[in-house]
Amino acid sequence: MDVPANRMHIHGVLVLEGEVERAAVVDRFRHRLLRVPRFDQRVARQDGRLVWTDDEAFDVDRHVVEETLAPPGGDLELAAALERHLHRPFDPEHPLWEAHLLRGYSAGTVLFMRLHHVIGDGVALLVVLLALTDFVLPGPASASNPFFDLLTVTAAGVDRAISAAQDLMPEALRLMRAPNEALERLNPLVRGLSETLALGRLAGRRPDPKTRFKGPLGVEKRLAWTDKVPLEDVRAIGAATGTTVNDVLNSAMAGGLHRYLARFGAPDENLTFRCAMPVSLRPLNAIAALGNRFGLIFLPLPVGLSDSELRLTKIHQSAQRLRRSAEPMVVLKVLDAMGRLPRFAHGALLKLFGSKATAVFTNVPGPRHRLRFAGHTVRDIFFWVPQAGRLGLGVSIFSYAGAARMGVGTDAGLIPDPEHIVDGFHAEMEALSRLCGRA
């Protein structure tokens, strides 16, 4: 699925307290990351197929780069430094990841990770992050990291990792379990009928309307990110309106998109387009395999609405219907088939998916306790999802230590100023807070 205008790369930032030595980062990667399969392997072509193979010339030092931000080292300088790397392909002769240690940032030392999506999806990479870090959980102290054991020992570590996840990130554990448990409860005949109907609905949906967010893509990309949003505030809005944390955040971002469009003239009140949202379908005992195992749901976003309350209600209702849909499993099967079909068929399937959506929205509920990396507290975590295919807008939510951040990634030709989307998001959160106060 890699094309120059949309690299299938995941980009993430860890803001670490204090000055972090490069040697400490290399040592942590050497003793933890490189014990996980894939991170010392490259992709090679063998008998016409792409396969994983060991990189015989692997050197971890090649993958850790030091840079210094331009002064004064604020968010603008950080964004400019990150954007220089977004369109760069990885060297196919070596593993498909890099770590950039960025110095001179006003909030600490930045560890900027670039990984190819082929290594793993959001859930798998969250477990990799936890395997790389240290944390303190309630109860008896343990001599080893259960997530590191899960990735490197055997499936026998699943129970211990689940127990740790219940304390560290219960929301992520619930989201990982829910889709698979729902599928297991279905009669096979009912499941087959549901999937057939979902496939029909997916294929029969009209393409999204043309807006400023949809059009021909270029190579250059732009990044922005929100301030921290306390999860306590988001939950209060949800409790007052009978909606969920995801509903509130998705509605605020849809409101930010509405406000962005309104800068060029009031959008039609009936304007709606969809975001493709990944849904993990990975059994908990299959995390160690990494790779990708997710489906998609296509959530309608009523971006034309100027009424924040009505927008939130509509998004909540749509999300409720989609939670009971077989659409994620259908999409997973289509993606699996795509990997087995001749290359000429890929373009048609990508066009099908690309026409049904305008953006990618993803939500990864992270740890509620602070992590430490190589002896330094992780102050902040935020990331950006690849847009894929012909989509030029990606929104990534990551919650950590009681707050959420959204990363916004855009095609520079379509949306050269994603910071205005971020401004609109914060304005919508304020509007929803006022709504909560009235309730």
CA distance 184 to 222: 41
**375 phi-psi bin (left φ>0, alpha ψ -120 to 50, beta other):** left
pLDDT for res 18: 94
**How many CB atoms lie under 10 A from the CB of residue 226?**
24
CB 392 within 8 A of CB 357: no
pLDDT for res 144: 73
pLDDT digits (tens, 9 = 90+) for 352-390: 777 889 999 999 999 999 999 999 999 999 999 988 778
pLDDT for res 335: 80
Beta strands in 302-402 (DSSP E): 359-365, 372-373, 376-384, 393-400
**108 phi-psi bin (left φ>0, alpha ψ -120 to 50, beta other):** left
**Exposure on the CB side of residue 48, measured as CA atoms within 13 A:** 4
Q: Please name the helix (run of DSSP H) or strand (run of DSSP E) that holds residue 80, with its range, or none.
A: helix 75-83
pLDDT for res 31: 92
Q: Please name the helix (run of DSSP H) or strand (run of DSSP E) that holds residue 114, with its range, or none.
A: strand 108-116
CA distance 151 to 136: 19
Instruction: List per-residue pLDDT tens for the chain, 439 residues long.
Output: 888 888 999 999 999 999 999 999 999 999 999 988 899 999 999 888 889 999 999 999 999 999 999 999 999 999 999 999 999 999 999 999 999 999 999 989 999 999 999 999 988 999 999 999 998 766 655 567 888 888 886 655 688 888 888 888 888 887 776 655 555 555 565 566 666 666 667 767 788 999 999 999 999 999 999 999 999 999 999 999 999 999 999 999 999 999 999 999 999 999 999 999 998 888 777 888 899 888 888 999 999 999 999 999 999 999 998 877 778 888 888 888 877 877 777 777 777 777 889 999 999 999 999 999 999 999 999 999 988 778 999 999 999 999 999 999 999 999 999 999 999 999 999 999 998 886 5
Q: Pairing relation of β-strands 359-365 and 393-400?
A: parallel
Cβ neighbours of residue 119 closer than 8 Å, sequence gap 6 or more:
38, 39, 96, 97, 125, 290, 291
pLDDT for res 349: 75
pLDDT digits (tens, 9 = 90+) for 185-213: 555 655 666 666 666 677 677 889 999 99
CB 10 within 8 A of CB 97: no
CA distance 180 to 173: 12
pLDDT for res 162: 82
CA distance 207 to 357: 7
Q: Pairing relation of β-strands 9-16 and 108-116?
A: antiparallel
Pick the CATH number of 9-438 from 3.30.230.70, 1.10.1790.20, 3.20.20.80, 3.30.559.30: 3.30.559.30
CB 427 within 8 A of CB 253: no
Q: With a threshold of 0.85, does the pTM exceed it?
A: yes
